[in-house]
Structure 1
């Protein structure tokens, strides 16, 4: 047979429709019912043998024709009240035999199942069973360790049910499972500690275990009983039996059971949250039917055990974390104390780093630097591994079988079969990698793990069959280290968090220091230059008196040069003031000292200062304010805003133009407007007018680009906002707001 044909058979097995078998186990009868009239839609073919009614005679009939009006009314009440989980089994006598009826709804159809009622099942156990169950639950809750919890569970369930073997099977991360506790009759083959391949319980079977707490097979040698009709009459689809107690199981699984030497089984799911953690698996050499009430008790045990496992694992994880906290605190302090970087601080504590994760070696990477301590791969191998880790995008990575995911790891698996790594999101290569050496160990499998399934011939050709051998199969595992615990992974994540916080704190400190240095430089430069500028201005004034413009030609030239020097000095003073203001705004330390100001008085002062500039260009300058307006503002700074906006308007408005300045109340604010009939600002430039160093270079060769940026800073420092609107050829308008002085209320 070709390998691809075998793979196809495996795929077909994995896709077997176990939810829709179209048949049930023969020890009971299944019916599907319409709602709300409770007419029989489907029935299992064995209804004739067990109930002495043919399937054809029951189809389409109301349920009461089979079980009587009283029982049918109980079924109707359960369905109408949606109380399936709370309802007691329906006890009926049919064809001279007692049956229990169990009801559930799935995919918009009622499913009613009848099982034989076992009155005399193990009277020794059933007598006082409720108290026994209570005592057993107390013993479960009193268990001090997880292993003790497992041992109590399997021993008690075996005593309650009488199964020859009860074991707990835990699923491992790799997909396979291990038997971690077992209670078996002396004659049974022991499986405790053995591993079973993942294919023994395919993924779709695991999903069914996840959604349904319990499954029972009283006799694996049964012949499936088909449903009549095969498909649902209301949908034309197969009936989903996911939650059916009588669901027929895969024939491969029935053969698997018989190969293991058992004919009866019961499985109880163990859940951790919404994930399948494991199974309580019960098996018996002879057919065994466990009554419903005892199955409910076993399911309760499974649910309590699931909660106990989750709680005790959580406590164990908490303990693992607490054991790491002191070392993590010491490493955090080392990162804080380092003068250079967090990784330099870690490099000073290699023993602490290795103790943190119980590793045999550690490597610390920061850009071109690579520090190695203990038993590590070669530098080139570490660099290559680190690049692969960076490309994977996982900030924290762990593997106890590195070569299985990173084939080059086979070259150094002796020293680094296990790797735990963390890195920070920085532009340079960085990270910490912990290494654990290969720990060769013998894994004991139940049968050859490489041959979980075999082939056999049948009338339909070749088909898969489960393995027949469960003899212990010893496999030496190479390239595997001891597993990284939850505590180890927690430590790597916490160290990464701490490194990020410390690295960010360093960056913030460096930026703060850079800002302070810049501010100090600007202040020193401004102070050191302001004095010379003042001296230059004074000397220019003195020289101006000595050289009258009415004097000889040489005197006029000197006088003109002095005028230029005075203008340059004044210009430099303005620039120095702008630089100081800009520095304060960027640092968030721009302060204003607001007082109550009269808007009309502000406008008068602005007009007296700026009107001469407007008159030189024949520009009509008008001020208009609502009477009695008062604002909370810094007089010097707000005058600077008005001067800047009006000065710009004069600069960019052609001769004979007009500029209007207004102020009006808008609730709790005063809205100022400076509108001109100038050349306007291009649409692509308008969003940037308040940016640093933005300037409209045309007609403004000496602009610094800081005026509007500072203006915006002053307005925002007052708690206001400023906006600009403009249209090329039609002028611009700048509007800003300042809080008004609120009138005191009188009572």
Structure 2
């Protein structure tokens, strides 16, 4: 047989239609009903032998054709509710035998099941005693450790149900499972500690365990009983029996049970949140049907046990974290104390770093520097591994079988079969890699994990069947280190968080120092330049007196040059003042000294200064303010704001245009507006008008792009806001708010 054919059989096994087997186990009867009439549309074939009714005669008939009037009415009352948990028991008698009814609703159909009512079920005493639910829950609550909890659970469930073997099976991250607790009759083969391959419980079976707390097989040697008809008449599809107690199970699983020496089983799911954590698996050498009341009690136990496992695991995780706190604090202090960077700080505490994760070696990478402590791979191997880790994109990575995901690790697996690594998002290579050596050990498997299933050529074609040999199979594990615990991974993540915070604090400090140095440089340059510029302006004035613009041609040329020098010196002084303002704004040290200012007087001063500029272009300049308005403002800075906004408006408004300046009261603020009839600002540029160095290049050859940025800083320093609106061809409006002076009504 070709390997591809064998792989196909594995796939077919995993895809086996276990939810829609079209058959049930023979100890009970199943029928499906359509609401609201409760007409029977499917029935199991064994209704003839167990209930003495021909299945064909029941199809399409109301439920009362099978049940007595009282029982049919009871079912009718049950279906009026969304769930049937609180409904009274449904017991019916056929052929002298009493049956218990179970009802559930799924995919638009009611599924009604009947199984024998076992009123006198008494499990045999095990170890000299029996158990009950109340006492069992008390014993579970008394457990102080997880292992004691597991052992109490299996012992009590065995005493409660009478199964020959009860074990707890925990799923590992890799998919396979291990028996971690077991209570068995003396004659039973022991499985405690053994590993079982992941293929023993395929993924679709695990999904059923996740959605159903309980599954029971009273006799694995049964002959399935088909449903009649095979497909639902209402949908033409097979009946989904995911939640049916009587659902027929995979023949491969039945064979597996018999190979393990049991004919009856019950499985109780153990959940951690919405994830399947494990199973309580019960097995018996002889057929055994546990009453539904006892099964419900077992389901309750599974739910309580799941909660306790989750709670105790959470306490264990908390303990693991607490064990790391002291080492993490030492490493955090080392990173803070380092004068260079966080990784140099970690390098001062290599033993603490290794003890943090119980590793045998650690490597620290920072830019071109690689430092190794303890037992580590060769530097070239570490750098290659680090490159691969960076490409994976995981900020924290862990593996106790590195060669399985990174094949080059086979070259150094004796030193580093396990790796735990973390890195920071920086432009240079960086990270910490912890290494654990190979720990060779033998795992005891139940059967050969390399030969999980055999071929069965009996019957129609080839199919897979469980291997009949389940003897203990020892496998030597290579390339494996001790697993990284939750505490180890927590430590790596917390150390990374601490390193990020320290690294960010260093960056902020460096930037603050750079800003401070820049501010000092700007202040010194501005101060040192102001005096020479003042001298230049004075000398220009003196020279201007000597050369009249009305004199000869040479005098006129010299006079014009002196005017240009004076204008340049003036612009230089303005630019120096702007640079000082920007430095203060960006450092958050821009200070204003607000006093009560009369808005009308402010407008008069602005008009006297700026009206001549407007008149030169024939621009109509109007000021309008509500009478008596006063603001809290710095006189010099507020005049700077008005002169800047009105000056810009004059600059960009064409001849014979109009500029209106207004001020109105609005709550606790005064709203100022400077509106012009100029060319406007392009929509894509409008969001950037207050950016540093933004300037409108048209008709603005000398603009520095600092005026509006500083204006915004001044308004914000007063506790106000400034906004701009504009439309091409229709002009612009700048509005800003400043707190107004409120008068005491009693003054």
Q: Aligning the two structures, in what range does the TM-score lie when normalised by the shorter sequence?
A: over 0.9
**Equivalent residue number for residue 594 of structure 1:** 594
**Equivalent residue number for residue 462 of structure 1:** 462
Distance 2:395 2:671 in 1: 52
Distance 1:314 1:142 in 2: 17
Aligned-partner SS, 1:514:
helix
Aligned-partner SS, 1:414:
coil
Query: Is it true that 1:630 corresponds to 2:630 in the alignment?
Result: yes
**1:686–1:98 CA distance, 2 compared to 1 (3 A):** closer
Distance 2:550 2:41 in 1: 122
**Equivalent residue number for residue 579 of structure 1:** 579
Aligned-partner SS, 1:80:
coil
Cα deviation, 1:615-650, whole Å, max 9, x if unaligned, reads: 444444333334333333222111111111222333
Distance 1:131 1:278 in 2: 23
**Equivalent residue number for residue 45 of structure 1:** 45
Aligned-partner SS, 2:199:
helix
1:124 shift after superposition: 6.2
**Equivalent residue number for residue 319 of structure 2:** 319
Distance 1:599 1:81 in 2: 75
Question: How many residue pairs align between the two structures?
Answer: 745
**Equivalent residue number for residue 663 of structure 1:** 663
Q: Equivalent residues in 2 for 1:609-628 (5 A)?
A: 609-628=609-628
**Equivalent residue number for residue 490 of structure 1:** 490
Distance 1:274 1:659 in 2: 69
Q: Equivalent residues in 2 for 1:280-679 (5 A)?
A: 280-541=280-541, 563-666=563-666, 668-678=668-678
Distance 2:330 2:374 in 1: 20
**Equivalent residue number for residue 250 of structure 1:** 250
Task: Indicate if the aligned counterparts of 2:670 and 2:740 stay in contact, CA closer than 8 A.
Answer: yes
Task: Indicate if the aligned counterparts of 2:123 and 2:160 stay in contact, CA closer than 8 A.
Answer: no
Aligned-partner SS, 1:531:
helix
Aligned-residue Cα RMSD (Å) equals 2.5
Distance 2:164 2:130 in 1: 23
1:123 shift after superposition: 6.7
**Equivalent residue number for residue 231 of structure 2:** 231
Distance 2:194 2:393 in 1: 36
**1:679–1:133 CA distance, 2 compared to 1 (3 A):** closer
Q: Equivalent residues in 2 for 1:170-185 (5 A)?
A: 170-185=170-185
Give ranges in structure 2 of 5+ residues lacking alignment: none
Q: Equivalent residues in 2 for 1:14-25 (5 A)?
A: 14-25=14-25
**Equivalent residue number for residue 192 of structure 2:** 192
Query: Is it true that 1:222 corresponds to 2:222 in the alignment?
Result: yes
1:697 shift after superposition: 4.2
Distance 1:210 1:285 in 2: 26
1:606 shift after superposition: 1.1
Distance 1:679 1:157 in 2: 88
Distance 2:38 2:125 in 1: 38
Aligned-partner SS, 2:398:
strand
1:714 shift after superposition: 1.8
Task: Indicate if the aligned counterparts of 2:123 and 2:162 stay in contact, CA closer than 8 A.
Answer: no
**Equivalent residue number for residue 213 of structure 1:** 213
1:71 shift after superposition: 1.8
Aligned-partner SS, 2:239:
coil
Distance 1:595 1:511 in 2: 35
Distance 2:569 2:96 in 1: 120
Aligned-partner SS, 1:226:
strand
Distance 1:626 1:521 in 2: 45
Distance 1:124 1:451 in 2: 38
Q: More displaced, 372-381 or 564-573? A: 564-573
Task: Indicate if the aligned counterparts of 2:99 and 2:115 stay in contact, CA closer than 8 A.
Answer: yes
Distance 1:315 1:500 in 2: 28
Distance 1:73 1:745 in 2: 82
Query: Is it true that 1:56 corresponds to 2:76 in the alignment?
Result: no
**1:549–1:118 CA distance, 2 compared to 1 (3 A):** closer
1:669 shift after superposition: 4.2
Distance 1:50 1:687 in 2: 83
1:729 shift after superposition: 5.9
1:583 shift after superposition: 1.3
Distance 1:730 1:356 in 2: 69
**Equivalent residue number for residue 694 of structure 2:** 694
**1:154–1:607 CA distance, 2 compared to 1 (3 A):** same
Q: More displaced, 485-494 or 557-566? A: 557-566
**1:124–1:195 CA distance, 2 compared to 1 (3 A):** closer
Aligned-partner SS, 2:663:
strand
Distance 2:303 2:656 in 1: 91
Aligned-partner SS, 2:642:
helix
Distance 1:547 1:156 in 2: 116
Give ranges in structure 1 of 5+ residues lacking alignment: none
**1:48–1:386 CA distance, 2 compared to 1 (3 A):** same
**Equivalent residue number for residue 152 of structure 1:** 152
1:472 shift after superposition: 0.6
Distance 2:181 2:49 in 1: 41
**Equivalent residue number for residue 279 of structure 1:** 279
**1:90–1:656 CA distance, 2 compared to 1 (3 A):** closer
**1:130–1:670 CA distance, 2 compared to 1 (3 A):** farther
Cα deviation, 1:31-57, whole Å, max 9, x if unaligned, reads: 222223322222111111111111122
Aligned-partner SS, 1:380:
helix
Distance 1:658 1:84 in 2: 81
